[in-house]
Chain A
């Protein structure tokens, strides 16, 4: 399988503060990749850099085309959907309007309605609440909505920033099950950023571990999950 996203020598800055120090990461097409690391390691910064939401140098290529310097709003044109940390729900709008916003750049307007129905099939709770203001949903429901909103783009690559954050373990299981299904049935390539290493390693094929802005470890997710030494020293469990 070919490389879909290749990040090289990535350095990112918040004002004078450097958050990433020459980060290297690559994602294979069709795979689920996870980026693991402690709080403040630079996970969010990495995927924000892909969408040009933080000042960066280095190279980020999507299928050979450079994403550096592209305005954030143009990233969807490559079929990249970003589910941001904190979910980015449009809380004052209805559930259905949130889904429509996910498809706001699509030209095939006629197909959007069917895709919304498809999301309701994936996430029945969203159908029950489709006219409700999105801010009234529970945390888990809002995360479902964020994933559904991203899928409405019909993305080729989905970037998820800590989807398990703040959710009950059962809800996280559900959500990760759906992510697996999306990857396998809809052929969406996924990069999932997580602090919750155990679950993410079950879902992913490849894992990268980030510490203070650098990748310190990478490899097959199953191997990492089974290697106690690596787990203890890098993932702390």
Chain B
């Protein structure tokens, strides 16, 4: 029993990483209706920007908001420069764009900051959290921030006019234009927010996985998986999906003989596929009724 509880706890703490990334995935999916394969690299790049600021002597608590602002603006700039010109081009063209962006960010980061792994500080420290060896104070802080972010997003989308306009633009662009919403800028705003959330994810993840240009490779796959599992339209679902994937992955690794570390990922992904076959909208995706 204690083993089980411990493994669940450990799963929750890795799950926090996935949850954070999944939030960014859902954010961009809401805005553009696609998964952005370069999202992990954007988060990695943001983290390097934070690293650079700290190298220059900016204190951590200034680095954090500054990186957020730079990433937000950067996300908007990427949308304006790269994806707005693609306009209504077929999905594959956008996918090519994501891959190009991925490659560019990855090599620029490598060339600028080289490929060696770097330590990244955490403001929460790395002591055992409440005496548990399985969750560190950093991981607890990460879970806390993920939930704060989730609540902020909920309030933004539910109770603000801009949030309402963004949802409308994503749901029905033609109708949104007819009520006067600038759909194009809503998409750019979605990129900015996704980039900002990605920056938070990167800054929180880097102390765990170490900072290097390929740090997000595995994490993004899990982030996608979590978002899809929870429901791509639901920020809450994405976060829950993240924790579920983390816990499940750990339990599979512990209890199924011969699985170990290598087979954890494929088995977790297989479960997700199974869930989606049964519930295509994801576990927490809302089923919408439509009458004509």
Q: Which A positions have Cβ atoms within 8 angstroms of B? A: 51, 53, 71-77, 81-82, 84, 88-93, 97, 100-102, 104-105, 133, 135-139, 142, 149, 153, 166
Contacts and interface: CB of A to CB of B under 8 A. Distances in A.
Given A104-B161, A104-B165, A135 B289 contact: yes
Interface of B: 161, 164-165, 167-168, 171-172, 174-183, 286, 288-292
13 contacts: A53-B174, A71-B182, A73-B180, A82-B178, A90-B172, A93-B168, A104-B164, A105-B181, A133-B288, A135-B288, A136-B289, A138-B291, A142-B291
Given A136-B289, A136-B291, A139-B292, A92 B179 contact: no
A74 B289 CA distance: 31
B171 A93 contact: yes
A92 B291 contact: no
A90 B175 contact: yes
A88 B175 contact: yes
A78 to B, nearest CB: 10
Contacts of B289: 133, 135-136
B180 A76 contact: yes
Given A90-B172, A133-B288, A138-B291, A105 B167 contact: no
A104 B291 contact: no
A44 to B, nearest CB: 12
Contacts of A142: 291
Contacts of B176: 73, 101
A106 to B, nearest CB: 9
Contact of A104 (B174, B180, B286): B180
Contact of B168 (A53, A74, A90, A139): A90
A166 B292 CA distance: 9
Contacts of A72: 177-178
A149 B179 contact: yes
B171 A90 contact: yes
Q: Which of A73, A102, A133, A135 has the most CB of B within 10 A?
A: A73
Nearest to A149: B179
A105 B290 CA distance: 27
A92 B175 contact: no
